[in-house]
Amino acid sequence: MFRKILIANRGEIAVRIIRACRDLNISPAVVYSEADAEALHVRMADEAICVGPAPSVESYLNIGAVVEAARRLKADAIHPGYGFLAENAGFARAVAGAGLAFIGPGAEAMEVMGSKVSARRAARLAGAPIVPGTTEPLTSFEDAQLTAREFGYPVMLKASAGGGGKGMRLVAKEEELLSAFETAKSEAAAAFGNSEIYIEKAIERPRHIEIQIFADSHGNFVHLGERECSIQRRHQKVIEECPSPINDATLRMRMGEAAVEIARAVNYVGAGTVEFLVADATRDFYFLEMNTRLQVEHPVTELVTGFDLVREQIMVAAGWPLSFKQEEINWTGHAIECRVYAEDPENNFLPSPGRISFLRVPDGAGIRNDGGVEEGAEVSIYYDPMISKLAAWGRTRDEAIDRLRRALDEYAVGGIRTTLPFFREIVRDREFINGRLDTGFIQRFNERRVKAVEQTRGADGFDEERRDIAIIAAAFDYVSKQRSLSMNQRKDIEEQSRWRMAGRPALHSKS
């Protein structure tokens, strides 16, 4: 087993890995940037080396400095966490080149999954379904018509040079195809100077569901079931849960097997996640991509399966076989996680950096909080503004939601804005409670919120008793501050006069 691991990350994930190291009696060492000299992950580590200035390109992304730190500290292995260098094949090679173990898959698997084209090819070879689509531009309307018939409607027309929704057209039936084909082409020409378009099968109400897989260096492959991550904002996951509210054992088995085959095809070792799109109505699933690292949302899988994925990652990297077999994996209850960010939900989720003046973290039955900050910490402008991941476990999804709602209400952060108020609304939302999730959830939720605000406007919108209490607290605060201000002034005057009194006799005695 390793004696010392260098953690090439910061924030909550560095803290999470430090804890797993402590469990295994491994000494945790960390790297940090100049901005993080007093950060929680540094204070919790046994050893720490500064690898550069605040901007991550000059510190946490500096491969040479990180590997050199590991060498100087005589670490046996490097854990990259997620983000930063976690999916950088060059880093994995540099770590191996320095004679250290990399806690993650081999560089080759990372490279295959790092490109959309090669990842899709690998998935197809492994027999996994991918979203049917043409890779070559359509040559004519007849070409479009034939391909659309082959895929089945609805289909999506997309500009080859595309992006930002321009040149994109959803076609529900064949009668709409001709006009959609022509507008998509002219839009693409106008927007990108290139009228080439291609066609893809459209997935209605797609759910984002991913499978956690694990493999060791002895050829064992398992899957730990799914996580549903359909609640996304700007393609960023916001809430994740395990299992999916669909909770279909057959679907889990089919998707799990597909994911394991993909991992096997690239000789995968360690923890990985295979992402799929699932059509809400038909439950057909399609390969999206594979993340060759530990995911942010891994705690929900841990809560439901009982396994410690980071501990397992370390064991596997040290050459041990997996500590469990596929048939030993059971899914008990339900877990939901919220990513709490220093962002202002009332102000278009603008980042809200600053000093955390007050922090009360929730606790109690079924609650797990993976945090990376303490009271007094500075949320800096340089890094991802996630403060913590709050997860709740319950025997049923309803019980998990009850606990999550309670914990979100208990969670208090002062000095900065957070996304907590946004989550407090989501866990009370009917569609969320009913598990009606797909990637359009946040957009519909925001529309419902606007309507709700419009309806309550005029009728004051808030509790009058609480408003009165707030006014009293504000006035009381003002009065207290005025009083201490005037007391300080009086003290100043008293001190001045005492000086004067002391000074006068001195003057007199001189004369």
Quote the CA–CA distance of 119 and 114 in Å, as a whole number.
7
Is 293 one of the annotated active-site residues of the chain?
yes
Residue placing its CB nearer to another protein in the complex, 172 or 474: 474
The region of 135-143, 254-262, 296-304, 349-357 touching another protein under the rule CB under 8 A is 349-357
Residue 389 near residue 420, CB atoms below 8 Å = no
Question: In this chain, which stretch among 138-146, 213-221, 313-321, 479-487 interacts with another protein, using CB under 8 A?
Answer: 479-487
Beta strands 47-50 and 27-32 are: parallel
Q: Which amino acid is at 223?
A: H
Out of 475, 487, 493, 501, the residue judged to bind another protein by CB under 8 A:
475
Start-to-end CA span in the chain (Å): 84
User: Residues 91-130 vs another protein: string with x where CB under 8 A?
Assistant: ----------------------------------------
Question: Residue 375 gets which letter from DSSP?
Answer: T
Containing 299, the helix (H) or strand (E) segment is helix 298-305
Chosen residue from 38, 477, 494, 495 binding another protein by CB under 8 A: 477
Site residues for another protein, 26-85, by CB under 8 A, read: none
Among 132, 133, 154, 354, binds another protein (CB under 8 A): 354
Alpha helices (H) along 307-366: 309-317
- Interaction of residue 485 with another protein, rule CB under 8 A: no
381 to 35, 123, 282, 409: CA distances (angstroms) = 10, 38, 43, 27
Q: Applying CB under 8 A, does 487 fall inside the site for another protein?
A: no
* Residue 352 contacts another protein per CB under 8 A: yes
User: At 379, which helix (H) or strand (E)?
Assistant: strand 378-379
The DSSP secondary structure of 434-450, one letter per residue, reads: TT---TTHHHHHHHHHH
Concatenated DSSP letters of 252-297: HHHHHHHHHHHHHHTT--EEEEEEEEEETTT--EEEEEEE-S--TT
Smallest distance from the beta carbon of 418 to another protein, in angstroms?
11
- The site string for another protein over 136-165 (x = CB under 8 A, - otherwise) reads ------------------------------
Which one, of 418, 422, 427, 359, lies nearest residue 392 by Cα? 427
CA gap 332, 328 in Å, rounded: 12
- Distance, in Å, from the CA atom of 162 to the CA atom of 190, rounded to the nearest integer, reads 11
Tell me which stretch binds another protein (CB under 8 A): 39-47, 270-278, 344-352, 387-395: 344-352
Single out the residue of 107, 15, 26 nearest to residue 73, CA to CA.
Answer: 26
Q: Is 454 in the site for another protein (CB under 8 A)?
A: no
Query: 356 to 415, contacts with another protein by CB under 8 A?
Result: 357-358, 381-385, 409, 412, 414-415
Which one of residues 462, 485, 498, 504 is an interface residue with another protein (CB under 8 A)? 462
Q: Which is nearer to another protein, 462 or 499 (CB)?
A: 462
Residue of 132, 351, 435, 440 that binds another protein (CB under 8 A): 351
Among 363, 421, 493, 498, interactor with another protein by CB under 8 A: 421
For residue 467, state whether it binds another protein (rule: CB under 8 A).
yes
Please give the structure tokens belonging to residue 152.
Answer: 């089945």
Binding site for another protein (CB under 8 A): 344, 347, 350-354, 357-358, 381-385, 409, 412, 414-417, 420-421, 424, 460-463, 465-480, 482
Q: Which residues are marked as active site?
A: 293
